[in-house]
Structure 1
Amino acid sequence: MRNYLLSIIMASAIVVGGCTQSGKSTPAADHTDKNSLSEAAPKKQEPVDSIAYNKKLAVLANGDTTGRWPVKHLAYPMKGAILPYKRIIAYYGNLYSKRMGVLGEYAPDTLWEMLRKEMKAWEAVDPSTPVIPAIHYIAVVAQGNPGKDGKYRMRMPAHQIDSALTIAKMGNAIVFLDIQVALSKLKDEVPLLEKYLKMSHVHLAIDPEFSMKDGSLPGKKIGTFDAEDVNYCSEYLADLVKQYNLPPKILIVHRFTQGMVTNYKQIKHHQEVQMVVNMDGWGAPYLKYDTYRQYIFREPVQFTGFKLFYKNDIKNPPHHMLTPPELINLKPKPIYIQYQ
């Protein structure tokens, strides 16, 4: 993993983050009222059925005997939770750049043809877990230019985020808005997306790779988030869920090195938020397996994800992009699958 290359991706006149993927040289749902911004008084919600929930968690643990999985002593989520009942199959990227992922590379119709094909492959390998699609859009992008405020990140305009939501609507998909803070902070970026996060089908993702707490430029080294950063996001989302009577939110945290997430045992859990630590490295299968084992399996948070790269995973033949039959054997089984 330490031999992976860093890169900064040029997009028009800006230098965009999101595909440095440094170690990345190792990247149904019910939408009823999904656009509602109702501010009705909070009502008491009930947790999911504990027996059915525990059975699904045991299946995901996939026979793990270390005691790490499933994660113990967590409160049951509120009714309406997506995980672990459904597996999320997500397409990732930014509409400004063809090099940051499939979202910017293909026209929406083609994109959906490809995504539905991946969904069918996952349905075939695990018929007991229904799949739902997701559009994972980078809404705050680390870049090489400092910008007017010197934060080295670019906030996507509302019309671009709206376009991502429109693409999602084509396939009844949920949406993840991804944040690469660079030299900014989550508390300065997350609230600006509240208009969207109040929608029942919109969720949040944060990328430690581009969180440059020491003032380094994004892409020059791998950044980090602490449990305190993760807790800020989960608490923010939990408050939205309670205030607007929303179904539980999902929070994705990308990871492919030890230092990207610190003090994981101090991460707090809320019934209103489900957390996924997403293995976000690219490269040969054995490197990706090792990354998953070292940084995802050994430091359990709640649920796990796995990222696949159509191009970078096959850069060095005979390497190949891992397949659903291969990934379904992992301990634990990933419940969130992301394609870049």
Structure 2
Amino acid sequence: MHKGYLLTCLCLILLPGYDCQKTERLQQAFKKDRLVVTPLPADTTILVDTLAYNARLQRLAHWPASSRWPVKAAYPLRGAILPFKRVVAFYGNLYSGGMGILGALPPEQMLDKLQEEVQHWTDADTTTPVVPALHYIAVTAQRTPGPAGRYNLRMPDQQIDKILELAARAHALVFLDIQVGHSHLQDEIPLLKKYLAMPQVHLGIDPEYSMKDGSVPCASIGTFDAADINYASGWLANLVREEGIPPKILVVHRFTQAMVTNYANIRTCPEVQIVMNMDGFGFPGRKIDTYVHWIAGQPVQFTGFKLFYINDVRDKRSTGLMTPQQVLALTPQPIYIQYQ
């Protein structure tokens, strides 16, 4: 049995000019079981309620805590969604029904089905409120280089605006997902700044289509290094500080070891909440094995789990789409759920 550890309720602050790479903590001391904290300067920004935050992390980890979970990471700023709410997202692109449920159904039917899934998760875990989301592929990998040789296609603003309109009707969050192809996050993320500056819009990045070896997308599985993920997180952190908006969620898809290298070097900060999302399909045993090895087994901060309406059930070994109850039995419990 792993030796558990006690998470103490630290009262942290965000100092002006905070650097995402360097967390400054107040000096503290325990005296008669009470935490004595240096008084806060008047111009600091208090972080989230750490007592409630720690309690929810422990619940996700299934008591008792292990040596891996909960992860010791930076506390988020106030307004953080995770782990206080579970996100249930529909994934896809409006141009192609084959890329996910988001574009496979007419808008009204899609939103109705999303609400049905939200209710299923609400019923399965009555202690955690559920917020719906539309996870839209805003930059899609392509098999041809295109005029710029990027092997990707950037969606027009009109399409992203449609997603924002649909999300508003459903009181849903929006995730804009990037498949870089032969491009780079440094070139793609800033182009979405006007959307990511909106409080309800978050970011997803997909290593599968980051072809650092120069191969054609879909011909092999791509990769991101911790440095790539840290760039995305740092960019979002700067945006949060500049705009004075709540923390962002950064979803990183993963289903193999090589898709994310040097995971232990991924940095966390109060402005960004990182979700490592199990993106593999197949029968339940295969999905659980992937989750155990490359998501739970290489902890970063939070975990996600993707369910495929088609690919998960057509395998002869499949017993059907995994239920919320089956997913919630995982350690740690995923706090981000995605349907494709």
Provide TM-score, normalisation by structure 2: 0.86
Match of 1:109 in 2: 108
SS in 2 for 1:140: strand
Amino acid at match of 1:338: Q
Match of 2:247 in 1: 248
- 1:115-134 matches, within 5 Å, as 115-134=114-133
Aligned-partner Cα distance in 1 for 2:152–2:139: 7
Q: Is the 8 A contact 2:86 2:131 kept in 1?
A: yes
Greater Rg by CA = 2
Once the two structures are superposed, residues 301-332 of structure 1 have per-residue CA deviations (whole angstroms, 9 ceiling, x without a partner) of: 00000000001101124511110011111000
Q: Is the 8 A contact 1:83 1:274 kept in 2?
A: yes
> After TM superposition, which residue ranges in structure 1, 4 or more long, deviate above 4 angstroms?
none
Aligned-partner Cα distance in 2 for 1:115–1:98: 16
Once the two structures are superposed, residues 71-116 of structure 1 have per-residue CA deviations (whole angstroms, 9 ceiling, x without a partner) of: 01x2211000000000000000000001000111111110111111
Query: Number of aligned pairs?
Result: 297
Q: Is the 8 A contact 1:204 1:252 kept in 2?
A: yes
Aligned-partner Cα distance in 1 for 2:66–2:196: 36
Match of 2:21 in 1: none
Aligned-partner Cα distance in 1 for 2:185–2:216: 17
Q: Is the 8 A contact 2:58 2:65 kept in 1?
A: no
What is the Cα deviation at residue 167 of structure 1?
1.0
SS in 1 for 2:87: strand
What is the Cα deviation at residue 45 of structure 1?
2.7
Aligned-partner Cα distance in 2 for 1:186–1:168: 25
- 1:69-218 matches, within 5 Å, as 69-72=69-72, 74-218=73-217
Aligned-partner Cα distance in 1 for 2:200–2:234: 18
Amino acid at match of 1:102: I
Match of 2:7 in 1: none
Amino acid at match of 2:252: V
SS in 2 for 1:99: helix
What is the Cα deviation at residue 279 of structure 1?
0.1
Match of 1:339 in 2: 339
- 1:26-105 matches, within 5 Å, as 44-63=44-63, 65-72=65-72, 74-105=73-104
Residues 145 and 44 of structure 1, relative CA distance in 2, 3 Å threshold: farther
Once the two structures are superposed, residues 194-230 of structure 1 have per-residue CA deviations (whole angstroms, 9 ceiling, x without a partner) of: 0100000000000000000010100000000000000
Q: Is the 8 A contact 1:56 1:84 kept in 2?
A: yes
Amino acid at match of 1:57: L
Once the two structures are superposed, residues 46-73 of structure 1 have per-residue CA deviations (whole angstroms, 9 ceiling, x without a partner) of: 201111110000000013654100001x
SS in 1 for 2:150: coil
Aligned-partner Cα distance in 1 for 2:75–2:281: 33
SS in 2 for 1:294: helix
Q: Is the 8 A contact 1:205 1:251 kept in 2?
A: yes
Q: Which runs of 5+ in 2 are unaligned?
A: 1-42
Identity of aligned residues (%): 56
Q: Which runs of 5+ in 1 are unaligned?
A: 1-42
RMSD over aligned CA atoms reads: 1.0
Q: Is the 8 A contact 1:63 1:331 kept in 2?
A: no
SS in 2 for 1:259: coil
Q: Is the 8 A contact 1:133 1:171 kept in 2?
A: yes
Larger mean Cα displacement after TM superposition, 310-319 or 238-247 = 310-319
SS in 1 for 2:332: coil
Larger mean Cα displacement after TM superposition, 211-220 or 308-317 = 308-317
Match of 1:24 in 2: none
Once the two structures are superposed, residues 232-273 of structure 1 have per-residue CA deviations (whole angstroms, 9 ceiling, x without a partner) of: 000000001001100000000000000000101111111000
Amino acid at match of 2:59: V
Residues 131 and 94 of structure 1, relative CA distance in 2, 3 Å threshold: same
- 1:266-285 matches, within 5 Å, as 266-285=265-284
Relative contact order: is structure 1 or structure 2 higher (C-alpha 8 Å, sep ≥ 6)?
1
1:290 aligns with 2:314: no
Aligned-partner Cα distance in 1 for 2:194–2:243: 12
Q: Is the 8 A contact 1:64 1:331 kept in 2?
A: no
Q: Is the 8 A contact 1:137 1:176 kept in 2?
A: yes
Provide TM-score, normalisation by structure 1: 0.86
Once the two structures are superposed, residues 31-50 of structure 1 have per-residue CA deviations (whole angstroms, 9 ceiling, x without a partner) of: xxxxxxxxxxxx85320111
